Structure 1
Amino acid sequence: MKGASTTLRSAFSFCVQQVRTYDYHHYLCLLELPPDMRKAAFALRAFNVETSKAMDVASDPRIGLMRLLWWQEAIDKIYSSKSIEQPVAQALASVISDHKISKGWLKRSVEARINDARRDPNDIPNSISELEKYAEDTVSTLLYTTLQSGGIRSTAADHAASHIGKASGLLLLLRSLPYHASKSRQGSYIPIEVALKHGLLVKEGGRSYVQLESREGSLSDAVFEMASVANAHLEKARQLAGTVPVEACPVLLPSVPAQVLLDTLRKVEFNVFDPRLLRGILGVPPLWYQMKVKWHSWRRKY
């Protein structure tokens, strides 16, 4: 029993380190959670780290897809009470056992990433609503499961989580546009409806792609349009604040990094290639960011 306990402690420590290393802006948010919720939140967020970076750390896209398929199978094994020798999976299994986390949310998250990984680089989403669904499936579900782990049952909190997840997901996709362009996924997260409106859609040799090389004007206008949708989701989430239980507010703190990123985009006039986006934490000094998170946490706001 002592060995098993030591292994589990090591697994949770690994989760904390993964989140701190790869998702620092949310790591600081999780530190504001009540102590009895942190372990579960870090395990869930570490699971998100594992699946979100699967394609990025793989030298071959097929290897990244295999990692995602492994996680899809791992979830089934965990819910069948089969042991897995992987620290994040071990921590996740403990959280699922202790808090009865819904399998559907976890499956939905990894399956959305699998579908995205299988998408041809030239297969452009048709509309912003498609990206909103992807954000809902990958980011909002993470907030749903965290609320669930804290025993928080609230329709208002779920609705706020849905909007915050969509906003966060859309803004992170915008921030990642230069990275995906460098990986030859030219503008794959700017939908056709937006690209057409702003003259970014190019048809060449029987295929279509979104032109990102123009770093001024039309691209910034397209980014502004998508960021405006994210901003609307944040506003809708805050309109629900009066009906959201106080204990749910710390779980909804990811609205803070979303707002910080949105504000930074405004500051650089929605130029996603501006190097200021990469400075500090989401483009702002670390101390200022931490104070903002602490201020919202202290006031029980999101």
Structure 2
Amino acid sequence: MADPAPVPSGVQVPGNAVDGRDGPIVQMRKFEPRDLKEVRLLLGYSIMEQLAAANTLLYTNPFVIVAWLALSSVMIGLMDWWPDPSGPAWTWLMPLPALASCAVPFLFAIDWLNRAYFEDLTRRVLAQEDTVDIPAYYSRAPGSGFWVLIYKGNPIGLVAKDAKGKKGKDGKKDDGKKLDHSRIAHPPAPTAPTVALVRHFHLDAPYRPTFIQNDLLAHGLSQAFAAAPSLETAYFRVSKLTPWLEEVSKTMGMRRRAGPTGEELAKDVGRRGLMGWREWYVGVGREKWEERYEEMREMHGL
């Protein structure tokens, strides 16, 4: 099957609204230097919003609930707030203050301890090479790119894909024991990219009910496969803290698989929360993507 047609950089959202005076209301375009402040803010949001998910998972953890009920029972007993079965009905409300007050330390402690991990992870991500100099990093190879979703002139989403070639058969670096002088005079030519990794993907939460995140990721993937004919597979990283990203990946035809170098879990730049939640890889091959891409185009009448 032929490669999917490249998607122009104008309005690419099916059913979008266009203002005749001010141009397109919704636009997907490449990153520009003027977007840096908003893009870095979106990158920070993409990590810090996982804090709420991490807190919720711990709030509903059976061990935390048991500890909360045990502490509440101790307080109820000390204050003699147990309801009187033979007394008036209002006595059954007496334990409520103890239950509420004993929950506060757990809520505070969980958020405080989790927050430290995600704030550190945010600093690490914003200091990575690809986020410090975005234009330089994402122009190294065909198939790479950093796209921004604009709504009424404001960036509300982004997708960054990094295309690279495969490593050697053993995946190991040179141990430095032997020096190949031929490589000094004739350095190896860069290999054509065969895999693409979506390094960053985010859409502001208020816009997710419109499912425009599907169009944003589809745009990024279509650009990668069209720009690099050698590209074989595109990868995406999801976790238990980002269920909405997993739904988007399934819409793109992605399924869980080993990563670009064969690992099951993604190499992380930092721990995610007290429980150390890890990301795993999902991916889609070129042939499967082309089939899914055509299905989406037909569904939207393109």
Would you say same fold, with TM above 0.5?
no
TM-score (norm 1): 0.29
Higher RCO structure (Cα 8 Å, ≥6 apart): 2
Richer in helix (by share): 1
